[in-house]
Amino acid sequence: MSFKTISSQLAAQLDKDLMGPEIGFTLEQLMELAGLSVAEAVLKEFPYSKSRKSQVLVVAGPGNNGGDGLVCARHLALFGFNPVVFYPKRSSRTQFYGQLVNQLKFFQIPVLDGDDDWAQYLNPNETLCVVDAIFGFSFKPPVREPFGSILQQLRQVQDQLPIVSVDIPTGWDVDEGPVEPNCIIPKVLVSLTVPKPCARKIESLETQHYVGGRFVPRSFANKYGFEPFAYENASQVVKLAPE
């Protein structure tokens, strides 16, 4: 594959730079675009049609990857899907996460917590796909509960119920890839801003690869050693062709 990647360390630095005093993006702005990108990738891979199932399960983790998932669910609803969000460990980092949950309620999107029976939504006859917004580039193995059990349940159904991973397939080492033997294998990966090294491992797994998070100019991309991706028109994602 010829696409450039940046390490987990550089990805965190890039984020900090974008939200630093000089550039001044807010987390809320970037998360909105990230979540919108993922929803667009879902729409491209699993086009919405009134005549078929439209339920999407979004599993949201405790950090910003989870926040991307909360935003994604709202856009999925606007695109015509029926999202259900499982959010077992809610972030208290900022009140923004509470606001995102309130917005989901405003859209009448169910938000399940750790005590709810989320596994009922793992039925491939009723659910189109699962959005994995559990962990992104700040994940450090080994996985702690309740997420270990959640990943195990996702792994059991992944051949019947496709997983769409946000930025990093959860449980994968960001730089090394699927080092743990029981990792989930997503059918779709949406890398945000620029792929991380683990994305190089997906080609052999027949995973569709998108890049989203279209928020940097060429000069900034070049500063981090990559070229802007070939987004078309107003699209928030671009599918990378396997080589």
| Window contacting K ion (CB under 5 A); options: 5-13, 21-29, 155-163, 168-176 | 168-176
One residue of 2, 144, 206, 243 binding ligand LZDS7PUF per CB under 6 A = 144
Q: Looking at the DSSP assignment, which residues form a beta bridge with residue 82?
A: 55
**61 versus 186: smaller Cβ distance to ligand LZDS7PUF:** 61
- Please, are residues 3 and 240 in contact by the beta-carbon 8 Å criterion? yes
**Number of residue whose CB is nearest ligand LZDS7PUF:** 136
**Binds 170, which of ligand LZDS7PUF, K ion, none (CB < 5 to 8 A, cut-off by type)?**
K ion
For every residue of 206-238, which 3-state class applies, written as one string?
CCEEEEECCCCCHHHHHHCCCCCCCCCCCCCEE
From residue 192, give the alpha-carbon distance in Å to each of 31, 35, 173, 243: 10, 10, 16, 20
With residue 127 as reference, give the H or E element that holds it: strand 127-133
- Restricted to residues 131-150, the positions that interact with K ion (CB under 5 A) are 132
Footprint of K ion on this chain (CB under 5 A)?
132, 165-166, 170
Catalog residues that contact ligand LZDS7PUF under the rule CB under 6 A.
Answer: 15, 18, 27, 30-31, 34, 61-68, 135-144, 147, 166-168, 192-193, 213
